[in-house]
């Protein structure tokens, strides 16, 4: 069960969609999430009727540790998606897609977690493509591929290559250990590979049949693979090494690498800046959130304070209200010891509890002695307001329980 108790207001955004939030935030949230009804319609056009009657979203306080939680009929969502320009609502498309992949057809065990998330990422991108166009979906897919590459490299380097499989073995472990970009993005890439093999129309028919046939049931990976073999692989004469995708480690060689023309143009501007063009002279007009994220991710690994200041003066990264852009910028700021961003870093880590943002920033901080001291000081103040899920993660990262008197830091 999921309970939300508080002073909540409601705004309708469609015949069967609406937003709950605290009274001071509900109008802002309703404006930001105005496309919810369109998303439900797009999802139904793809894979069949929405079977839960209503789809509402509850915007929670900043301490909520996840982007969203797909409770049937009422998604719990982080307020960090309220960017003021409707640019981060792909998260709502993701949680809505869980109404089919996750709530309608559910993973039977945590080892089969990819059945929820891989399908949902695929579905999310199809919803977004239908509403916002191919460029939007391609940018989403490319950023996801970058995340997958990073996670696979990290896990492999830490001796956790087994966790890069889709079908996991979490025996004796916290199921939360299985929650990584692998389930999401490698799962998506597998489905994208199948779509490429048989064509979109045939793959859509397969998925529609899958959701109808297994509606309101729980499924193991092996049950899905049997269904896949019978209804897609054999009839379509598909030549995809399914076992390698599901049980193998790493990134399969036949992965369909997403390509974004918009990101190619971003990379041109990164190179121009690297060669000496000032930030203010770069061609960035009309860039979306995704283009800015790609830009910051592809800046040189090592930058001087004057270089960071040039970027910050032109684009006001440190002062942005967009949490996704801010998070990647703050990570680069830590990596390059850009002191002017540290006050915002402290404020962000103290006011936001979403683990997606917390973990990379604390990980970046603890790579140096100075950063570790900063992390411990910030965490001592922030920890009482974090959710227990985030506390468990950051406690382990900082060896918090081994500290003799952490509260006095």
CA 155 to CA 145: how far, in whole Å? 15
Binned at pLDDT 50, 70 and 90, residue 404 comes out as very low
9-99 folds as Zincin-like (3.30.2010)
Confirm whether 50 is a catalytic residue: no
Q: What is the pLDDT of residue 97?
A: 98
The single residue of 184, 210, 338, 386 carrying the catalytic annotation is: 184
What are the residue ranges of CATH 1.10.390.10 in the chain? Answer: 107-247
Taking alpha carbons only, the member of 221, 219, 206 closest to residue 105 is 219
* pLDDT-based confidence at residue 403 (cuts at 50, 70, 90): low
Rg of the Cα trace of the chain?
Answer: 22
Paired with 74 in beta bridges are: 56
Tokens 């729980």 correspond to 218
Mean pLDDT within 364-386: 96
| Residue where the block lists tokens 């076992």 | 243
Q: CB count, 10 Å around CB of 280?
A: 11
CB-CB contact of 18 with 11 (8 Å): yes
Integer angstrom CA distances of residue 327 from 2, 317, 354, 358: 28, 10, 11, 9
Mean pLDDT within 278-297: 97
**How many angstroms separate the CA atoms of 70 and 66, rounded?**
11
| Secondary structure class of 368 (helix, strand, coil) | coil
User: Distance between CA 15 and CA 85 in Å, rounded?
Assistant: 23
Could you tell me the two tokens for 336?
Answer: 């390059």
**Banded pLDDT at 409 (limits 50, 70, 90):** very low
Which of 32, 95, 195, 269 is catalytic? The answer is 95
**CATH number for the domain formed by residue range(s) 107-247:** 1.10.390.10
CATH class of the domain whose range is 261-408 = mainly alpha
Q: What average pLDDT does the structure give for the chain?
A: 96
Place of tokens 């590459």: 149
Residue ranges of the chain assigned to CATH 1.25.40.320: 261-408
Comma-separated ranges of CATH 3.30.2010.30 domains in the chain? 9-99
Catalytic residue check, 184? yes
Whether residue 367 has pLDDT greater than 90: yes
φ, ψ (nearest 5 deg) of residue 271: -65, -40
Q: Look at the pTM and tell me if it is higher than 0.95.
A: no
Q: Distance between CA 378 and CA 230 in Å, rounded? A: 54
């Amino acid at each position: 069960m999921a309970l939300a108790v508080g002073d909540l207001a409601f705004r309708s955004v469609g015949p069967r969609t609406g937003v709950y939030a605290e009274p001071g935030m509900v109008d802002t949230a309703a404006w930001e999430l105005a496309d919810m009804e369109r998303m439900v319609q797009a999802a139904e056009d793809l894979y069949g009727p929405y079977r839960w009657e209503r789809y509402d979203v509850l915007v929670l306080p900043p301490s909520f540790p996840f982007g969203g939680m797909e409770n049937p009929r009422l998604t719990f969502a982080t307020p960090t998606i309220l960017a003021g320009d409707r640019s981060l609502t792909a998260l709502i498309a993701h949680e809505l897609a869980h109404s089919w992949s996750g709530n309608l057809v559910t993973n039977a065990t945590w080892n089969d977690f990819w059945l929820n998330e891989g399908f949902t990422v695929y579905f999310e991108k199809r919803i977004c493509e239908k509403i916002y166009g191919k460029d939007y979906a391609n940018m989403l897919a490319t950023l996801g591929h970058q995340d997958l590459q990073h996670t696979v490299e990290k896990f492999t380097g830490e001796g956790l290559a087994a966790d890069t499989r889709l079908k996991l073995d979490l025996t004796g472990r916290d199921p939360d250990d299985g929650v990584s970009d692998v389930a999401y993005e490698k799962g998506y890439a597998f489905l994208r590979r199948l779509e490429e093999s048989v064509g979109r129309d045939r793959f859509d028919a397969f998925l529609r049949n899958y959701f109808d046939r297994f509606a309101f049931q729980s499924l193991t990976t092996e049950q899905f693979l049997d269904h896949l073999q019978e209804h897609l692989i054999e009839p379509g004469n598909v030549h995809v090494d399914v076992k390698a995708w599901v049980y193998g480690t790493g990134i399969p060689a036949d992965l369909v690498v997403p390509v974004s023309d918009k990101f190619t143009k971003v990379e041109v501007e990164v190179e121009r800046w690297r060669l000496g063009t000032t930030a203010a002279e770069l061609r960035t007009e009309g860039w979306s959130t995704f283009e800015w994220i790609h830009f910051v991710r592809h800046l040189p690994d090592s930058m001087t304070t004057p270089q960071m200041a040039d970027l910050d003066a032109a684009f006001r990264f440190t002062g942005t209200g967009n949490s996704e852009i801010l998070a990647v910028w703050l990570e680069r700021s830590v990596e390059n010891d850009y002191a002017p961003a540290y006050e915002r870093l402290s404020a962000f880590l103290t006011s936001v509890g979403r683990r997606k943002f917390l973990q990379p920033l604390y990980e970046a901080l603890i790579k140096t002695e100075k950063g570790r001291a900063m992390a411990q000081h910030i965490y001592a103040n922030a920890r009482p307001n974090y959710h227990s899920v985030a506390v468990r993660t950051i406690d382990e990262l900082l060896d918090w329980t081994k500290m003799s008197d952490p509260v006095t830091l």
